[in-house]
């Protein structure tokens, strides 16, 4: 996942013209997505995921992050994309 990049947002009709800044960029399949760096709280390494029964198919489970339970969502599954690497 991701790399921080400086990009100018596409100037599509209806989009805010000239949105510039730093973005965390990642790919799902052939699609590229970006999240403004100021909206990212932190990046953490891969951790053991504990599965939780009776959750939606796109919820992989939960992790323990410094004593807090954090849900792990698989965006490929959420957006009904084929499984990746």
Q: Say how far apart CA 81 and CA 29 lie, in whole Å.
A: 8
* Structural domain that includes position 32: 1-41
Return the pLDDT at 74.
Answer: 92
Q: How many domains does the chain have?
A: 2
Q: Do 36 and 5 reside in the same domain of the chain? A: yes
Average pLDDT score, the chain:
82
**Is the pLDDT at 3 greater than 70, yes or no?**
no
Q: Do 54 and 68 reside in the same domain of the chain? A: yes
- Here the CATH number for the domain that contains residue 69 is 2.40.50.180
Residues 73 and 63 sit within 8 Å (Cβ to Cβ): no
Q: Do 61 and 82 reside in the same domain of the chain? A: yes
Return the pLDDT at 30.
Answer: 86
Phi-psi region of 66 (alpha: psi -120 to 50; beta: other; left: phi over 0): left
Per residue in 13-54, pLDDT (tens digit) is 455 555 788 999 988 888 898 999 999 998 999 899 999 999
pTM equals 0.66
Q: Do 69 and 81 reside in the same domain of the chain? A: yes
Q: Do 37 and 17 reside in the same domain of the chain? A: yes
**Is the pLDDT at 73 greater than 60, yes or no?**
yes
Residues 82 and 76 sit within 8 Å (Cβ to Cβ): yes
**Is the pLDDT at 61 greater than 90, yes or no?**
yes
Query: What are the b/e assignments for 58-72, b being 16+ CB within 10 Å?
Result: ebbbbbeeeeeeeee
Q: Do 30 and 63 reside in the same domain of the chain? A: no
Q: Do 30 and 49 reside in the same domain of the chain? A: no
């Amino acid at each position: 996942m991701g790399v921080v990049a400086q990009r100018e947002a596409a100037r599509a009709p209806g989009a805010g013209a000239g949105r510039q800044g730093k973005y965390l960029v990642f790919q799902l399949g052939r699609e590229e997505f970006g999240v403004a760096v100021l909206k990212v709280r932190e990046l953490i390494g891969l951790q053991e995921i504990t599965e939780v029964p009776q959750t939606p198919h796109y919820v992989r489970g939960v992790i323990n992050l410094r004593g807090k339970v954090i849900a792990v969502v698989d965006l490929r599954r959420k957006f009904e994309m084929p499984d990746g690497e």
